[in-house]
Homo-oligomer: A and B are copies of this chain.
Amino acid sequence: MMNSTEIAKIAGVSRSTVSRVINNYSNVSEETREKVLRVIKEHEYVPHASARMLAGSQNKVIGLFIIDLIHEEVGLKNRITKSPYYLEFTSSVIETASEMDYLVLVHIIHSVAGYEKIKESFYNKTISGGIFIGQNDDDESIKTIIDRGYKVVLLDQSIRPEDATYNQCMIVNADNYNGAYCATKYLIDKKHKQIAHITGGTVKFSSKDRIRGYKKALEDAGIEVNKNLIVNSEFVENAGYEAAKKLFNGNSEFSAIFASNDKIAFGAIKAIQERGLKVPDDISVIGFDDIESSKYFNPPLTSMKMKLGEMADIATKSIVASIEGETKPSINVVPVSLVERESCGILQ
């Protein structure tokens, strides 16, 4: 096999010179450089990545950790598959990284056991930094990694200026609070007063922040928050379906639902329709995320669009900059926007 010694021999120079050429050092005569380059090309020589790393150069690999914890009883393999939400983010990370000459090692974590592997990837130097998405807010395992001094970008993490850990990493969030506020306000502007909210639970920051936005919008409009109209759920279709049924079985009337994400909205609409009601004629529904299926849905779903591509871009650029030692901790909040379709109507 080809190695730098071989190349050096053929080119009639020393290994150090070959190394200099490869790393584009200036202290090489044009003549030698060209000669070496020619030999390299001719023999299709590519330096051994592990050897380079061992000898001291940073590796250009970032880890992308998609966390999708599954309750054991569910046991669904590939649940992430059901979540198109991550695709755009993931592919954007890969694209951006690729442009910056970085590679992306993607991990999908379903089990607590999988958490162990995360540390390994950092400790054994397989990656130079990591981007986390899907984890619960204020995750202890991840904090350990940050505390160890590894480069980390967190998506969907609440801002806690008092927590030293979070002053050593980078955070990228969608503007969940204002997005939820806007979604709720949109319903209010359509004359709705009894607006239910199906949440995404209480462990994800995004869900918690959307609840806040929902309440604030109600409050600002002088509408009292009705606890019976807030039902906790999870970011999957079936949970939305069950939550809507619970809403119907409750004692409070409602003419609109703000679902914490589109999957929940899909499930809720299914429950509404099963009851013989129509969306938006009888009940209006607005979602969050604007996943691809939403525009094909019947009725096309009104939703809050996240700029996932942009968020991925920020995350990737941050981590790379951080690896290359150029930047400091940062907090980024990326705006969301309303995508108006046909699932909300004016209350008669």
Contact = CB atoms under 8 A, between A and B. Distances in A.
Interface footprint category on A: 35 or more
Contact of A84 (B45, B54, B94, B292): B292
B107 A47 contact: no
A333 interface: no
A316 to B, nearest CB: 13
Number of copies: 2
A94 B107 contact: yes
B103 A104 contact: no
Contact of A103 (B87, B94, B105, B309): B105
Given A48-B125, A106-B104, A123-B46, A80 B84 contact: no
A244 to B, nearest CB: 17
Interface in A94-114: 94-95, 98, 103-108, 110, 114
A144 to B, nearest CB: 10
A61 B105 CA distance: 9
Given A114-B98, A124-B46, A296-B266, A81 B77 contact: no
A262 to B, nearest CB: 10
Interface of A: 44-51, 53-54, 59, 61, 77-78, 80-82, 84, 86-88, 90-92, 94-95, 98, 103-108, 110, 114, 117, 119-121, 123-126, 266, 292-293, 296-298, 309
10 contacts: A48-B54, A49-B125, A78-B88, A78-B95, A81-B88, A94-B106, A98-B107, A103-B105, A105-B105, A105-B106
